[in-house]
Amino acid sequence: MKLHIKKGDMVKVIAGDDKGKVSKVLKVFPEANKAIVEGVNVNKKHTKPSAKNTQGGIVDQEAPVHISNLMLMDGKTPTRIGRKLDEKTGKIVRYSKKSGEVIK
């Protein structure tokens, strides 16, 4: 299934505890319809000392957020996404339904 957001997109959280936050998508999980967004849905994880983290302790970590709770930002405004065929390249591209411009 195609998703309306991709890694690197700026999104706005429209539901949940972090409602209203605007941040960057770090990773997308299409099979689970979830994405990890920077600074959103942060949980505390208790870690044991290891070679990577010699001290151990409590680490803040982002947890996945459902795609339906995210809205793509087109500049400074949130927008819905559509798909259309690009006449020049013949590929399907995402476009902003608010402005009509193609999203890179």
pLDDT digits (tens, 9 = 90+) for 48-89: 999 988 999 999 999 999 999 999 999 899 999 999 999 899
- CA distance linking residue 24 with residue 18, whole number of Å: 14
CB-count exposure of residue 59 (10 Å: 0-12, 13-18, 19+): exposed
pTM, 2 dp: 0.84
User: Position 3: which residue type?
Assistant: L
> For residue 1, is pLDDT > 90?
no
Mean pLDDT of 25-35: 96
Sign of CA dihedral 92, 101, 82, 67: positive
| Residue 70 contacts residue 37 (beta carbons within 8 Å) | yes
Residue 1 vs residue 26, higher pLDDT: 26
> For residue 21, is pLDDT > 80?
yes
- CA distance linking residue 13 with residue 72, whole number of Å: 9
Report the CATH architecture of 10-76: Roll (2.30)
> For residue 96, is pLDDT > 90?
yes
What does the block give as tokens for 52? 């990577």
| Residue 23 contacts residue 37 (beta carbons within 8 Å) | yes
> For residue 45, is pLDDT > 80?
yes
